[in-house]
Chains A and B, each alone.
Chain A
Amino acid sequence: MLIVPNQEEIAHHTDKTTPFKWSFEELRKIPEFGALVAFLALFIFFALSAPQFFSLRNITSLLTIIAELGIMTVGESFLIIGGEIDLSVSGVYAMAGFVFVTLANILTFPFGSLLAFIIALLVSLLIGFINSQVVLKGSIPSFIATLGMMMFLRGILLGITGGRSISYAGDRLVPTLLTGIMAYRFRPSHFWFIAIVIIFSFILNRTIFGNRVFATGGKKLAAYTMGVNVNRVKANCFMISSTLAGLSGTIAISRFNLANVSFGQGMELEAIAAAVIGGTLMSGGYGSIIGAALGAGIMGMVRTGLVMAGVPSYWYNAFVGIILVIAAIVNLKLRSTILGE
């Protein structure tokens, strides 16, 4: 397995020889621990302050919101760990949804929505590829390149739709597979989200590619000298981020049954915030997919919890801001030893 100078930061991912001790000091070395503590603390608080918060109906509603943000966050985390950032995810989210709805409405043959769905994901993948080439070949900071892409995509959507919503009129196959209501109001998107978290967590922590993502984001030059094709790794991360944003968009649009240019506005910042709350370092080279999922859980839970607790809505943003900062601080402090601080 590749060894790079940043490896000590992620030793816990690969070290199977040291027996694990269930002490607090050991627990807080788990990258997801801080996010888990913050998640549970918030969950318990809202469950105590709002009687209906801990109801099955609300849990499934929360899962729906968390799944859509969480899928985007998983991709964003992958890219941030790889040392880049993607601000175009919300634009991809809206564009993929628009492509899906438009094509599904046109492709009226049986299972046309499946083809529309695949094309929407391919368009998202292509946008990720273009982002990567602009950043890597053009040597443009990913912040600027993807900001430009986000504005470009939203501009295109606005130009095409003129601001009008487009209702979904295709077959029900893909909407049912993505967001159809199941028993107890669970939705398939909840399980897709869990599956994606497991798969991408495995890829990040248990495969050579994942190790190269850590290496590329941590010490790019060292990784390069060790033979890692850092540009290829980053390009793959861009495509993962964009494709998952597209998937998130098609899920949301399937749920709403309509596409609109305003959908997903500001979601890029929520996804980045969720990744950071979940323990991902903005500087790259460190992070966790499960932590990112918990971060998305915190983001999704806060507003719902505030509504149900009866907090005056003018105060929401103030509370959301303070809760997110506290969650991030708790997370950082709990795992500070692992970075030797």
Chain B
Amino acid sequence: MRKYFLIFLAILLVVSFATLASFAQEAKEKYVVYVVVHGGIGDPPWELNHRGAQAAAALFPDLELNYVGPTAYNVPEFISYLEAAINAKPDALVCTLTAPEAMDNILKPVIAQGLPVIAINAPDPRPSEDCIPVLSYVGLPDFYEVGVNCAKTFLEYVKPTRVLYCNHAPGATHLKETGRGFLETMANNEIPGEEFVTSEDPVEDAKMTVDYLKAHPDTNVILHPNSTHLEAIIKQLEDEGYKPGKDVFLGHPFDPTIPMLELMEQEKVLFCSDQQMYLQGFYGVMFAYMKAKYGFEPPLPPVTTGPIIITKKDVPALKELIAKGLR
């Protein structure tokens, strides 16, 4: 038995290390671009971002792309990936400026030494003299405006009585800003509402949100920043007798996924606010590569990719693009 166990262990070791070694490609004669995002990389919008980055990499045979990030939002883990990516001595770096204060000591010295850095998705919100001097920024210019846009869309299509902004990742600054823009715009229109901190777990989030609705039955509008969580909430709402799109109106301030589009077709979700994650990945990698190889200066920041409000009428065209892996 002991012998078989040792043989099994040896095989496991060999297979694991062989697989690992196969991933460790030679970087010589290639321009290595690392993309480090705050993730979670398993989320559909980030998968889209990854696809955009891969599409850019596929255009250039001498571009080696390494796309990394934590599986769920986690600043210290994100920072450790960023440091590892820099230590790998890439030719260019693309990253989110998720926690700029924590990234100052890491990015400013390497940028001063000449590493081309392109920011995507999360900008540095500080005054320009304190900002990390990235070459360009691709993404939404201001998350507060995303929230404002969402509030305006709700006000245009429905009559909110009380609104709820669910926040499943309360440490994430961009989500906080989106909620602030949404709630303040609603408040300016004399509609009460609040931010509700839920859970990283979609199932737990769904239960908490529906419990909240039971406790606050006058709430008829929910804005949720995570599409997977929103799907779970819709299922939970239906299980408990609510009619999403009829007695509760739902919106999503970020990117449309196929399930979100289908829910819009079924009129259960009113809108999504697209920031074109695919383009952020694509432009980020392309700008980084062009700078590293040819010295081309990228466009000045911000290279705006949204927000674009998407409603039911936009769904057919978007579905076609999603089927092609472009949205």
Residues of A within 8 A of B (CB): 45, 49-53, 55, 57-58, 61, 64-65, 158, 162-165, 167-168, 181, 252, 255-258, 260-266, 303-304, 306-317, 319, 322-323, 326, 329
- Chain B positions near chain A (C-beta within 8 angstroms): 9, 12-13, 16-17, 20-21, 23-25, 27, 41-42, 64, 66-69, 71, 73-77, 79-81, 83-85, 87-89, 99, 101-102, 104-105, 167, 169-173, 176, 195, 197
Are A258 and B101 neighbours in the complex by a CB distance under 8 Å?
yes
CB atoms of B167 and A163 under 8 A apart? yes
B88 interface neighbour in A257, A308, A317, Cβ under 8 Å:
A308
What chain A residues lie within 8 Å of B101 (beta carbons)?
165, 167-168, 256-258
A168 contacts which chain B residues (CB < 8 A)? Answer: 101
Contact present for B41 and A314 (CB under 8 Å): yes
Residue contacts A-B, CB under 8 angstroms, 21 given: A61-B87, A158-B197, A163-B176, A165-B173, A255-B102, A256-B76, A256-B101, A262-B74, A262-B75, A262-B170, A262-B171, A262-B172, A306-B20, A307-B84, A308-B87, A308-B88, A309-B24, A310-B66, A312-B23, A313-B68, A315-B23
Q: Which residues of chain B have C-beta atoms less than 8 A from A316's C-beta?
A: 68, 71
Contact for A307 among B64, B75, B85, CB less than 8 A: B85
In contact, A304 and B80 (Cβ under 8 angstroms): yes
Q: A162-B170, A163-B197, A257-B101 are in contact. Are A50 and B24 (CB under 8 A)?
A: yes
Does A303 contact B170, Cβ atoms closer than 8 Å?
no
Minimum C-beta distance from B204 to chain A (A):
13
> Within the complex, what minimum Cβ distance (angstroms) separates A160 from chain B?
12
Residues of A within 8 A of B173 (CB): 164-165
Residues of A within 8 A of B74 (CB): 262, 265-266
Among residues of A, the one whose C-beta sits closest to the C-beta of B25 is: A310
User: Please, which residues of chain A bring their CB within 8 A of the CB of B25?
Assistant: 310
Residues in A with CB closer than 8 Å to B76 are 252, 256, 263-264
| Among candidates B17, B68, B75, residue contacting A263 with C-beta atoms closer than 8 Å | B75
Closest to B100 in A: A258
Bound-state CA distance A58–B73 (Å) is 24
Residues of chain A lying within 8 A (CB to CB) of residue B68: 307, 313, 316
Our count of residue pairs bridging A and B at CB distance below 8 angstroms stands at 130
Q: Are A307 and B16 in contact (CB under 8 A)?
A: no
- Out of A64, A257, A261, A311, name the residue touching B20 (CB < 8 Å): A311
Alpha-carbon distance A45/B41, docked complex (angstroms):
26
| A301, chain B: closest CB distance, angstroms | 10
CA distance A232 to B71 in the complex (A): 41
Q: In the assembly, what is the distance between CA of A309 and CA of B68, in Å?
A: 12
Residues of A within 8 Å of B195, CB to CB, are 162
User: Closest CB-CB distance, A248 to chain B, in whole Å?
Assistant: 11
CB distance from A306 to the nearest CB of B (A): 8
- Name the B residues within 8 Å of A329 (CB-CB): 9
Interchain CB contact under 8 A, B99 and A310: no
Cα separation A319 to B42 with both chains bound (whole Å): 16
Q: A261-B171, A313-B67 are in contact. Are A49 and B21 (CB under 8 A)?
A: yes
Least CB distance, B310 to chain A, in whole angstroms: 27
Residue in B9, B23, B80, B89 whose CB lies within 8 Å of A311: B23
For A309, the chain B residues whose CB sits under 8 A away are 20, 23-24
> In the complex the two chains form, what is the Cα distance from A313 to B23 in whole Å?
11
Q: Cβ of B9: which chain A residues have Cβ within 8 Å of it?
A: 326, 329
On whether the beta carbons of B41 and A55 are closer than 8 Å, the reply is: no
CA distance A158 to B68 in the complex (A): 28
In the complex, chain B residues whose CB is within 8 Å of the CB of A266: 74
Q: Could you tell me the distance in whole angstroms from the C-beta of B3 to the nearest C-beta in chain A?
A: 13
Decide: B77 and A260 in contact? CB cutoff 8 A.
no
Across the interface, which residues of B come within 8 angstroms of A61, CB to CB?
A: 80, 83-84, 87
Q: Which residues of A contact B171 (CB under 8 A)?
A: 163, 165, 260-263
| Bound form: Cα–Cα A57–B113 in Å | 14
**Alpha-carbon distance between A64 and B12 when the two chains are bound, in angstroms:** 31
Query: Chain B contacts of A64 at CB under 8 A?
Result: 83
Q: Are B21 and A322 in contact (CB under 8 A)?
A: no
Closest to B169 in A: A262
For the complex, what is the distance from the CA of A311 to the CA of B24, rounded to whole Å?
7
A309 to B18, CA, bound (A): 12
Closest chain-B Cβ to A325's Cβ sits at a distance in Å of 9
Contact A319 B84 (CB under 8 A): no
If the complex has contacts A309-B20, A326-B12, are A260 and B75 also in contact, measured as CB distance less than 8 A?
yes
**Separation of A51 and B24 alpha carbons in the complex (Å):** 10
With contacts A45-B17, A262-B75, A323-B16 taken as known, whether A257 is within 8 angstroms of B102 at the C-beta atoms is: yes
Chain B residues within 8 Å of A256, by CB? 75-76, 79, 99, 101-102
Q: How far is the CA of A162 from the CA of B177 in the complex (A)?
A: 12
Kindly state the separation between the CA atoms of A261 and B169 in the bound complex, as whole angstroms: 10
Whether B66 and A303, one on each chain, are in contact in the complex, defined by CB atoms closer than 8 angstroms, is no
Q: Closest approach, in angstroms, between the C-beta of B130 and any C-beta of chain A?
A: 11
Contact A307 B66 (CB under 8 A): yes
Partner of A49, one of B24, B80, B85, B87: B24
